[in-house]
Each structure stands twice: as C-alpha cells, then as structure tokens.
C-alpha cells in the first residue's frame, strides 16, 4: 500500500494519475486505470460536444465503479470550445474530480469548487501553481521539462521543480513529466510529491485506444526520440520526433522565423488523430515525452500499476538501509527492476 494525501483525498489505492490526453483519454483507458487503483481522467475535448462527454462519462461508469475524473484543457484558440458546457455536463453527470490545465482556469475552478468538486490543476511553473493555490485548488499537478505536451517556456526539469514545489506549496502536489517506472515514482515521493501523473506511460498500455504500431514505436524508442515544436511561438510542445515534427522545426528556424499560419496544416489535430487511427507514426504530430526511453513493454493498466506499487515499495524499503548503521551501501536494485 502506498498511502499519501492523494490516495486519501481521492479514495484511490495507488497515488498515480493518468493525465488528460487528447484522443487517448477515452472511457476504456480511464476505466482501466481507475479499476487498477489509480485515477483515470477522461479528456473532455476529445469528445466533440458536451453531450458526447455525458455519454462518455456514462460509458465509463459501466466499466468501473471506482473514482475517475474529467480533464478540461484551456488552449489558446481563435474559436474556443464550449468549456463551460463541458464543465456543466460533467458536473450534472455527477463527476466530482476534475483536472484543469492551461491558461486562465479561474472561472472553471470557481465553478467546480462551488459544486463541491475536487480540483487538480496542472501547470508548469511555481508561480502559476501558487496563484491557482490561492483560487482554492486541492492538488497541484506540476509538469517538468520532461513531459509530453506543453512544458511551458522555463525549461525547469523535474528534480528542481518538484523540490521547489515541496518548499513553496501548501496543498499537496503530484509530480508529472518523465515518470514511467518505479525509480521515477519513488523519486517523486522522495521529493515530497503526494503522487505522480503519467501520460506517455499510460498511452502505451493494452487498454490505450491508439494503434498497436504506435505503441510498438514507443517501445522501440529512446529518450532522444522527442523534440520541442512551437518553441519560437512561445507555445512549446514536446512531440514525437518524426518527419512532420522535424519539418515544423526547420520552418521555425528559417530566417525570419515562422508564423502559425506557415505550419498550421502540418500540425493540425486531425492529422495527429490519424496517427493513432492508422498506426502511421509519420502521418502528423503526436505528443510523447522523453519517458519513451523508459518504456519497453505494453502491459495492462492492472499489470503496470501492480508492478509499480510493488517496486516502489521495494525501492523505498531499500533506501531505509542507506541510513542504517552497517556502513554498507545496499542500494543496488538495478539488477532486479
Ligand atoms: C498523447 C498525449 C496527449 C496529451 N494531451 C493532453 C491534453 O489534452 N491536456 C493536457 O492537459 N495534457 C495533455 N497531455 C499531457 C499529459 O496529461 C501529462 O501531463 C504528460 O504526459 C506528463 O508527462 P509524461 O508523458 O512524461 O508522463 C498529453 C500527453 C500525451 C502523451
């Protein structure tokens, strides 16, 4: 048992959250994570409308009776989605756990808190974490430079970011970005986190809805196989380093730089979605974190979380010997894991 303020607050067995993932966070995966003892999160904007989100929530309930939540990601957009409509639909369907992410979450957080919900806010900087803490969020999920998707523009890796969070925040925080195995999980707990948030690792499980080819591609990849795009547009995103991503980076590096218009077609969400449907890793842009270098299998969520639970306990147990009186250095779990 790994008991932390997160497991107590959410009523889950393992302090592991499956972060919102566009096109990936669908009922089958969410229910599998929750059934296995973690917290699954439906990604609201993967559903085409608030009504479709209602249906997805109902479907998830048919698959698990354990707690699960909904992620709402606020993206810079010319025609913003109906965030309020998604939020209202989820609250009306009885969802009481939300992950917010992105810019200006104040109104949503206020709405969720006034409806008695638990709110995890995902951000990438201590200053943003502190301002959402003042808005009354229950948990901060903080993403280091290693993460898939948007790491912000500060380039602070998890080691420093988590230690800063432990010093600065009053509410519990969970560590996100680059965590895919028990070593990272145990390290996050040692840094003061109440749990971990994982994206790329859950993307490469049996229940993840993406094409098998993409899972195999993740397994075959190393930590050098992702790249940052949109750097020059100050909206950095870590994605898989494929032909399209490298083309985007090349356009961004042209003399005079790039406007969003110049790369819009290459990076379209519709093309990215096709990657998962067709199993062609070069069809479009797809999010992946450097944790791809740590992933070498495609387990069920149950296998994954049981393994992590056991190995994290072993690592923490091993570390207690470091402070023992024997003078030996027994931290050699390298061979076993
Ligand atoms: C395929 C994919 C799609 C993602 N989509 C979203 C999203 O829509 N909203 C969001 O807040 N985070 C999104 N993320 C980020 C994850 O929720 C999580 O913060 C991140 O993956 C953590 O880093 P890791 O991949 O190293 O575990 C996505 C990640 C992946 C891998």
Choosing from 24, 33, 41, 149 the residue with most ligand 1 atoms within 8 A of its CB, the one to mutate for a pocket test is 149
Q: What is the pLDDT of residues 296-324, one digit of tens each?
A: 999 999 999 999 999 999 999 999 888 87
Q: What is the pLDDT of residues 238-271, one digit of tens each?
A: 999 999 999 999 999 999 999 999 999 999 999 9
What is the per-residue DSSP string for 93-131? Answer: TT--EEEEEES--HHHHHHHHHTT-EEEEEESSHHHHHH
Say yes or no: CB of residue 172 within 6 Å of ligand 1: no
Choosing from 16, 20, 83, 105 the residue with most ligand 1 atoms within 8 A of its CB, the one to mutate for a pocket test is 20
Predicted local distance difference test score (pLDDT) of residue 13: 97
Relative to beta strand 173-176, strand 139-143 is parallel
Choosing from 30, 148, 193, 271 the residue with most ligand 1 atoms within 8 A of its CB, the one to mutate for a pocket test is 148
Domain final residue pick, 172, 187, 209: 209
Distance CA 319, CA 42 (A): 36
Q: How many domains does the chain have?
A: 2
Say yes or no: CB of residue 20 within 6 Å of ligand 1: yes
Q: Which residues pair with 141 in a beta bridge?
A: 122, 174
What's the CA-to-centroid distance between 238 and ligand 1, angstroms? 10
Are residue 204 and residue 217 in the same domain, yes or no?
no
CATH code of 120's domain: 3.20.20.70
Q: Please state, rounded to an integer, the average pLDDT across all residues of the chain.
A: 95
Are residue 79 and residue 105 in the same domain, yes or no?
yes
Domain final residue pick, 179, 209, 239: 209
- Does residue 77 have a pLDDT over 90? no
Secondary structure E strands in the chain: 16-18, 40-43, 68-74, 97-102, 118-123, 139-143, 173-176, 196-198, 226-229, 237-240
**CA distances (Å), origin 90, targets 77, 117, 321:** 22, 11, 47
Q: Look up the domain containing 24 and give its range.
A: 5-209
DSSP H/E element including 185: helix 182-190
Are residue 253 and residue 180 in the same domain, yes or no?
no
Are residue 203 and residue 224 in the same domain, yes or no?
no
What letter would DSSP give residue 149? B
Distance CA 14, CA 301 (A): 12
Residue 31 within a domain: yes
Are residue 69 and residue 154 in the same domain, yes or no?
yes
Domain final residue pick, 209, 225, 240: 209
Residues shown for the chain? 337
Residue 326 within a domain: no
* Atom of ligand 1 at shortest range from CA of 201: 27
Which amino acid residue places its CA nearest to atom 9 of ligand 1? 20
Are residue 161 and residue 277 in the same domain, yes or no?
no
Are residue 116 and residue 216 in the same domain, yes or no?
no
Q: What is the pLDDT of residues 178-233, one digit of tens each?
A: 999 999 999 999 999 999 999 999 999 999 999 999 999 999 999 999 999 999 99
């Amino acid at each position: 048992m790994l008991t932390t303020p997160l497991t107590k607050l959410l009523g889950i067995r393992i302090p592991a959250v499956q972060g919102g993932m566009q096109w990936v966070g669908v009922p089958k995966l969410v229910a599998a994570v929750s059934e296995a003892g973690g917290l699954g999160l439906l990604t609201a904007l993967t559903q085409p409308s608030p009504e479709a989100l209602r249906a997805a929530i109902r479907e998830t309930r048919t698959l698990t009776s354990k707690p699960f939540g909904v992620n709402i990601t606020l993206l810079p957009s010319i025609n913003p989605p109906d965030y309020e409509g998604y939020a209202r639909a989820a609250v009306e369907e009885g969802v009481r756990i939300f992950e917010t992410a992105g810019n200006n979450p104040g109104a949503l957080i206020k709405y969720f808190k006034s409806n008695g919900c638990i709110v995890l806010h995902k951000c990438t900087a201590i200053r943003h974490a502190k301002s959402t803490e003042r808005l009354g969020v229950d948990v901060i999920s903080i993403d280091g430079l290693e993460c898939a998707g948007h790491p912000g523009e500060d380039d602070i890796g998890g080691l420093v970011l988590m230690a800063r969070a432990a010093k600065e925040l009053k509410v519990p925080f969970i560590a996100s970005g680059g965590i895919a195995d028990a070593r990272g999980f145990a390290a996050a707990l040692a840094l003061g986190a109440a749990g971990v948030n994982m994206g790329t690792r859950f993307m490469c499980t049996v229940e993840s809805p993406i094409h098998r080819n993409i899972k195999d591609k993740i397994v075959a990849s190393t930590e050098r196989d992702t790249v940052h795009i949109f750097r020059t547009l100050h909206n950095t995103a870590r994605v898989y380093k494929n032909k399209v991503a490298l083309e985007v980076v090349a356009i961004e590096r042209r003399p005079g730089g790039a406007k969003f218009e110049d790369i819009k077609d290459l990076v379209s969400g519709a093309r990215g979605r096709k990657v998962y449907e067709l199993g062609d890793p070069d069809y479009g842009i797809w999010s992946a974190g450097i944790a791809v270098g740590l992933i070498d299998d495609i387990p069920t969520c149950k296998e994954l979380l049981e393994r992590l639970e056991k190995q994290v306990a072993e690592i923490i147990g091993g570390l207690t010997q470091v402070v023992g009186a024997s003078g030996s250095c027994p931290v050699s779990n390298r061979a076993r894991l």
